Structure 1
Amino acid sequence: MGTITLIAATATGLMAGLFFAFSVAVMPGLADLPAEQARAAMRRINVRIQNPLFLLVFLGTAVLCGIEVFQGRIVGGLIYLAGSFLLTMFVNVPMNNRLERTDDAYWPEYLRTWTIWNHVRAVASIASTVILLLGF
C-alpha cells in the first residue's frame, strides 16, 4: 500500500468518525432540546466547524480520493467523493444555509432530513476507508 492510499484511508476514517459522532451523539442531543435552543446550537456548530483544520481534512480527503481514483483505486475514492464530499456540498451545506435563513419551524424537518443524509455520509466514509485499505 502506498503512502497516499494510507493517508487517504486515514483521512476517510477521520471523516467517518466525525459523521458518526454527529449521527450518534450530536444530533440526538440536539433533538432533546427545544427547537429554538437546538437550532441556535446547530447554527453555532455550523460556524465553528468551518475552521482551517476541518477544511484541510475535509477538502484534503477529497483531493486524496481523487488521486486514488486516478491511480486505479476507483471504488474507494469514488465512494468518498460521491457519498461524503458531494453529498455534503449539495445536500447538507444547503440545508445548513437554509437553517441560517429560516425560523424555528424548519428545525424538525432539518433535524430529520439532515441526520438521514449524515448517516449516509458516515456509511460512505466507513466504506471508503475499508475499500481503500483493501486496495480497490
Structure 2
Amino acid sequence: MTTVKTNNMFTISQIVLIVTATATALISGLFYAWSCSVVPGLARVSDSTYLEAMQQINRAILNPVFFLSFIGTALLLPLSTWLYYGPGPNARFWLLLLASVVYLAGTFGVTMFGNVPLNDALDAFNLSSASAQELAAQRARFEGPWNNLNIIRTIAGVAALVLIILACLSPAAETSRPAVVYR
C-alpha cells in the first residue's frame, strides 16, 4: 500500500502501524517500569510480604487492559508486517518482520513459557500454612528466575519498539494490495 499521506489522510497500513507502535510501547513500558520500580521495591520486603504481593499482582494483571496491549501486540505486529510485504527491497517490511520475531519470541514467548509457569506455581503455594523456611525457599525458587525472565522480555520489548520506530521512519515500498484511505 502506498504510504503517502495528504490532507490528513492515512492508509489502513499506516493506521495499523500507529496502533501497533502504541501497543508495543505500552507493553514494553509496563515491563520496563516494573523492572525500575516494582522489582527493587519488592526486594526490600519480607518473604511472606513478597510472595503475597506477587500472588496478588499476578492475579490482578489478568485484565482486559493488559491483554489488549500484550496479546494485541502479538497480533498487530504480524499484521503490520504483512501489510508492508511487497515486491523488491522494503526496509519497513524487514524491520517489522524482525520486530515481530523479537516480540513474539523474547516478550510474548518468554512470558508465556517462563513467567506464567512461575506465576502458576506461586499461585498454587499456600502462604498461610507455610513455615518461615518454606516461604524463604519458595521466594528463592521464584524471585531470581522470574526477575531474569522479566529482564529478557523487557529488553526484547524495547528492541521490538525501536525496530518499529525505525520501520516508521523508513520508506515503504508499494505493495500489490489495494489502498484503503481513511480521513
**Distance in 2 of aligned mates of 1:43 and 1:27:** 14
Could you tell me which of 93, 99, 121 is aligned with 1:76? Answer: 99
Contact 1:66 1:81 survives alignment (8 Å): no
Partner of 1:65: 77
**Distance in 2 of aligned mates of 1:14 and 1:124:** 13
Identity of aligned residues (%): 37
Larger radius of gyration: 2
Unaligned runs of 5+ in 2: 4-13, 84-92, 126-133, 171-183
Shift of 1:128: 0.6
**Distance in 1 of aligned mates of 2:156 and 2:81:** 15
Partner of 2:60: 48
**Distance in 2 of aligned mates of 1:119 and 1:10:** 21
> Any idea what SS the aligned residue of 1:50 has?
coil
CA deviations over 1:70-110 (Å, ceiling 9, x no partner): 34320011111111111110000001001112352211231
Partner of 1:39: 51
Q: Which moved more, 1:80-89 or 1:3-12?
A: 3-12
Q: Which runs of 4+ in 1 moved over 4 A?
A: none
Contact 1:80 1:128 survives alignment (8 Å): yes
**Distance in 1 of aligned mates of 2:36 and 2:20:** 24
Contact 1:12 1:125 survives alignment (8 Å): yes
Q: 1:51 corresponds to which letter in structure 2?
A: N
Unaligned runs of 5+ in 1: none
Q: Does 1:117 align with 2:149?
A: yes
**Distance in 2 of aligned mates of 1:126 and 1:59:** 16
Over the aligned positions, Cα root-mean-square deviation in angstroms equals: 1.5
Q: 2:27 corresponds to which letter in structure 1?
A: M
Q: Does 1:86 align with 2:98?
A: no
Contact 1:9 1:128 survives alignment (8 Å): no
**Distance in 2 of aligned mates of 1:76 and 1:3:** 17
Under a length normalisation based on structure 1, what TM-score does the superposition of the two structures give? 0.92
Q: 2:60 corresponds to which letter in structure 1?
A: R
Partner of 2:165: 133
